[in-house]
Amino acid sequence: MVDHLCRIVCEEEPLPIVKTFPDEQLLHLQGKEPWFADMVNFIVIGMLPNDLNKAKKNKIKLPVLMILRLL
């Protein structure tokens, strides 16, 4: 297969690479985490915080597992 992109003639000067992001900022939540933070973390990494007791872990796991089964 031939790479046709190398044959494209570009008459414009390429834009310089900008290494800074002027609008970049870190966001920090003040106070309590959102109620769904543990659910999202469980979906993404499959683990829950160690400081939760078994009842709280089940309260987070069961709805998430039910939703994932419906998808």
- What domain range is 71 assigned to? 34-71
For residue 48, tell me if it sits in a domain.
yes
More confident residue, 14 or 49: 49
Average pLDDT, the chain: 82
Given this model, what pLDDT does residue 1 score? 53
For residue 6, tell me if it sits in a domain.
no
Given this model, what pLDDT does residue 28 score? 65
For residue 56, tell me if it sits in a domain.
yes
Tens of pLDDT, residues 17-37: 878 777 666 666 677 788 888
Given this model, what pLDDT does residue 2 score? 64
Counted domains in the chain:
1
Using a cut of 0.85, tell me whether the model's pTM lies above it: no
For residue 70, tell me if it sits in a domain.
yes
Rounded to whole angstroms, the Cα distance separating 69 from 57 reads: 18
Letter for the amino acid at 61? Answer: K
Rounded to whole angstroms, the Cα distance separating 27 from 47 reads: 24
